[in-house]
Amino acid sequence: MGVGAYVAVSAALFALGVVCIIARRNILYVLMGIEMILNAANINFVAFNRFGGDGLDGRMFAIFTIILAAAEAAVALAIVLNVFHLFDSIKPSDVDLMRE
Amino acid sequence: MANAYLSGLAAIAPELVLTGTALAALVFDLVTKGRDSRRVGYLALGGLALTSLLLIGQWGEPPRTVLGMVTVDQFGNFFKLFTCASLAAVVVFVLNDRRERRHGIGEYYFLLLGAAVGVFFMVSTNNLLLLMLGLELLSLASYSLAGFHKGDRKSAEAAMKYVVFGGLSAGIMLYGISLLYGLTGTIDLAEMASADGSGHPAGLAGQLAQNPIPVAVAVVLILAGFAYKVSLVPFHFWTPDVYEGAPTPVTTFLAVGSKAAGFGALLRFVGALFVREDVQDTVRAYGERVGLLIAILAAVTMTVGNLSALRQRSLKRMLAFSSIAHAGYVMIGVAAMSAGGFEAAMYYLAAYYFMNLGAFGFLLYFEGVTSSDDIDGLKGLGWRAPLVSIAMVVFLVSLTGLPPTVGFYGKYLLFQEGVAANLIWLVVIAGLNSVISLFYYFRVVRTLFLSKPAEREVAPQPLFVGLLAALGVATVFFALYTAPLVDWARRSMDLLWASSG
């Protein structure tokens, strides 16, 4: 199996992530969509490292991306929890005070 | 090897001191149990002063790359000193913010200084991994800061919108980086652009010939990430809401420090990839086409920003749209894709520091007096607080781009470089936009002075008023005496030297 198959999977995952975010039904779906995009990039990094580049740049990048995703999820969930306390809802359409 | 490691650590001493200060602020607040909130601010100011001294100590040193990925050069130092200066002003703002809650002030400073550490790394590397990590450190700290007023619904909403848009754009940028890595086989921008296409993988020059569409997709995705950070249209949706909902000192940091950092990283990215001395000719030609794309973004950004600002009743929201418009002006310099254009962009950012910091400082002062950010509440304040209001008039004149202010000279430089790069249409649009901006900036001046004064007590805040007055003086002074800032921007062009690693 060549690198093309991996890129196809990651592109599909990326597209699904974007759709998930644009649909904006629920803030948790949005956060999941972001995780999907980050993992799509991870698949690319690991696959390109395996088939192309010398060294470990891609794999290193993937490991750091996993850490980034975890940190971002922690901050995002704390913010969402606070929003839930104040608005009693986690639908983006309900959390919209500032619009003119 | 050990020696190289130690000298590398010495070269990043400013970053280490800043990290130490961030931790010290957190621990100090913890130990004193929050009773000494002002002292934490002074501690932060001291740390920033020490960091700036170390940065000034690196003045004139030749560019070099340490620890395998950190490029220490004058270009990076420009943005690092800029960050220190804007953060110091933000700390003074926090100390004078009547609405700031005193509880948890240690975390507040910790997050601000942590964001600055992120900025330091993102502006001083050609390595995409370190760039991404610095950017995310800045972003994660900013998300938390935007929502720092935990009981405030607007603040919570701002944080949520920020984290959603931020996460999306970081993901998009990361995906672009992964494609670029796959195409070129390296995560170092300079290596990508200078490889002559004969090796394997073929470098950017070779890939442009073989795989033009994936290269274009990767570059556009990465630019989208930067466009979010500096809030270019169509990636600006978060900006007005986040700026309005976040605590005002945080808004100031986002509008001045974080935005300049985004420009620093963007200039580094396009500079290393398309403009550097050792870039392959085909890559340089491609860069000019990317410049055209950036020019279109710039034109749309300044127009949308200015037209939206016309309709705002809240001063805070108006300044948010104004900062979007100014990002559009700075992009003229980036679109020029030349050393001159970059210099003009950096001069304009320095001008933006004085005038926008001043405008946000006035907003904070005014919020302290009236407890609202409605422009109508400004009525007659000019007669009650003359010094601050006159300073505000200077900032607004400068934001409009009229002489004799830094805003005028900055726009002059940008327009000149735009014409030199054959972007005359863009310069015309920017000129028309400056005229539009006159309407909403002068509405504020009119409300300040041409209305009947309202009865209102204004409590004295000597340090804060002094800072605003100093910014007002600097706004005029650096326009009459432009040499220091222009020279500084010119010295910073070492990012384009082939030897800078």
Residue B201: the pLDDT is 66
Reported confidence tier of residue B102, pLDDT bands at 50, 70, 90 = low
Residue B104: the pLDDT is 77
**Interchain pair A71, B177: CB under 8 A:** no
Reported confidence tier of residue B82, pLDDT bands at 50, 70, 90 = very high
Reported confidence tier of residue B457, pLDDT bands at 50, 70, 90 = low
Give dist(CA B12, CA B69) in Å, integer: 11
User: What is the arithmetic mean of pLDDT over B202-216?
Assistant: 87
3-state secondary structure B390-435: HHHHHHHHHHHCCCCCHHHHHHHHHHHHHHHCCCHHHHHHHHHHHH
Q: Domain for residue A92, yes or no?
A: no
- Closest by Cα among B335, B357, B209 to B283: B209
Residue A73: count of CB within 10 angstroms of its CB: 16
For the cut 80, the answer to whether the pLDDT of residue B456 exceeds it is no
Residue of B164, B244, B317 lying closest to A30 (CB–CB): B164
DSSP B500: G
Q: What is the pLDDT of residues B367-405, one digit of tens each?
A: 888 888 888 888 888 888 888 999 999 999 999 999 889
Residue B107: count of CB within 10 angstroms of its CB: 17
Q: Which token pair is A11?
A: 């592109």
- Whether the CB of A4 is below 8 Å from some CB of chain B: the reply is no
Residue B455: the pLDDT is 65
* Amino acid at the residue B229: K
Give dist(CA B309, CA B311) in Å, integer: 5
Q: Which residue has the higher pLDDT, B207 or B328?
A: B328
Residue B174: the pLDDT is 97
For the cut 70, the answer to whether the pLDDT of residue B88 exceeds it is yes
Residue of A nearest to B176 (CA): A41
Give dist(CA B6, CA B67) in Å, integer: 9
Q: Which helix (H) or strand (E) holds B194?
A: helix B189-194
**Interchain pair A47, B171: CB under 8 A:** no
Residue B501: the pLDDT is 44
Give dist(CA B219, CA B179) in Å, integer: 9
Q: Which helix (H) or strand (E) holds B100?
A: none
Reported confidence tier of residue A47, pLDDT bands at 50, 70, 90 = very high
- Whether the CB of A58 is below 8 Å from some CB of chain B: the reply is yes
Q: Which of B129, B143, B153, B178 is most worth mutating to test chain A (most A CB atoms within 10 A of its CB)? A: B178
CATH code where residue A33 lies: 1.10.287.3510
Contact B300, B319 (CB under 8 A): no
- Domain ranges for chain B, please list them: 2-500
Q: How is A5-20 classified by DSSP, letter by letter?
A: HHHHHHHHHHHHHHHH
**Interchain pair B156, A86: CB under 8 A:** yes
Reported confidence tier of residue A100, pLDDT bands at 50, 70, 90 = low
User: What is the arithmetic mean of pLDDT over B158-183?
Assistant: 95
**High-pLDDT (> 70) share of chain B, %:** 95
Give dist(CA B350, CA B76) in Å, integer: 14
Give dist(CA B265, CA B76) in Å, integer: 9
Q: What is the pLDDT of residues B460-481, one digit of tens each?
A: 778 888 999 999 999 999 999 9
- Whether the CB of A17 is below 8 Å from some CB of chain B: the reply is yes
Give dist(CA B179, CA A14) in Å, integer: 12
Sequence-separated contacts (24+) of B462-465 with Cβ below 8 Å: B463/B92, B463/B95, B463/B96, B464/B92, B464/B93, B464/B96, B464/B361, B464/B365, B465/B365, B465/B387, B465/B388
B194 phi and psi, to 5 degrees? -95, -15
Residue of A nearest to B159 (CA): A79
For the cut 70, the answer to whether the pLDDT of residue B252 exceeds it is yes
Give the 3-state secondary structure of residue B300. Answer: helix
Contact B377, B456 (CB under 8 A): no
Q: Which residue has the higher pLDDT, B104 or B493?
A: B493
- Looking at the 3D structure of chain A, how many domains does it have? 1
Q: Which of A21, A26, A51, A68 is most worth mutating to test chain B (most B CB atoms within 10 A of its CB)? A: A68
Q: Which residue has the higher pLDDT, B1 or B268?
A: B268
Q: Domain for residue A55, yes or no?
A: yes
Q: Which of A60, A65, A90, A93 is most worth mutating to test chain B (most B CB atoms within 10 A of its CB)? A: A65
Residue B377: the pLDDT is 84
Q: Domain for residue A96, yes or no?
A: no
Residue B500: the pLDDT is 47
The β-bridge partners of B64 are B72
State how far residue A1 is from chain B, nearest Cα, in angstroms.
17
What sign results for the dihedral spanned by CA atoms B144, B145, B151, B153?
negative
Q: What is the pLDDT of residues B107-152, one digit of tens each?
A: 999 999 999 999 999 999 999 999 999 999 999 999 999 999 888 8
Reported confidence tier of residue B5, pLDDT bands at 50, 70, 90 = confident
Segment among B126-140, B184-198, B331-345, B416-430 with least mean pLDDT: B184-198
Give dist(CA B291, CA B280) in Å, integer: 16
B125 phi and psi, to 5 degrees? -155, 145
**Interchain pair B167, A87: CB under 8 A:** no
User: What is the arithmetic mean of pLDDT over B410-422?
Assistant: 95
DSSP B247: -
- Whether the CB of A13 is below 8 Å from some CB of chain B: the reply is no
For the cut 70, the answer to whether the pLDDT of residue B189 exceeds it is yes
Residue of B128, B144, B175 lying closest to A75 (CB–CB): B144
Q: Which residue has the tokens 């003359």?
A: B386
Contact A41, A33 (CB under 8 A): no
Q: Which of A32, A61, A77 is most worth mutating to test chain B (most B CB atoms within 10 A of its CB)? A: A61
Distances (CA, A) of B227 to B93, B311, B323: 28, 24, 13
**Interchain pair A41, B174: CB under 8 A:** yes
Which structural domain range is residue A24 located in? 3-87
- Whether the CB of A30 is below 8 Å from some CB of chain B: the reply is yes
For the cut 50, the answer to whether the pLDDT of residue B320 exceeds it is yes
Give dist(CA B94, CA B145) in Å, integer: 12
**Interchain pair B140, A14: CB under 8 A:** no
Give residues with Cβ within 8 angstroms of B234, minimum separation 6: B300
Q: What is the pLDDT of residues B55-81, one digit of tens each?
A: 999 988 888 888 888 999 999 999 999
For the cut 90, the answer to whether the pLDDT of residue B337 exceeds it is yes
For the cut 60, the answer to whether the pLDDT of residue A88 exceeds it is yes
Give dist(CA B377, CA B448) in Å, integer: 9
Reported confidence tier of residue B36, pLDDT bands at 50, 70, 90 = confident
Give dist(CA B370, CA B319) in Å, integer: 18
Residue B101: the pLDDT is 62
Residue B15: the pLDDT is 96
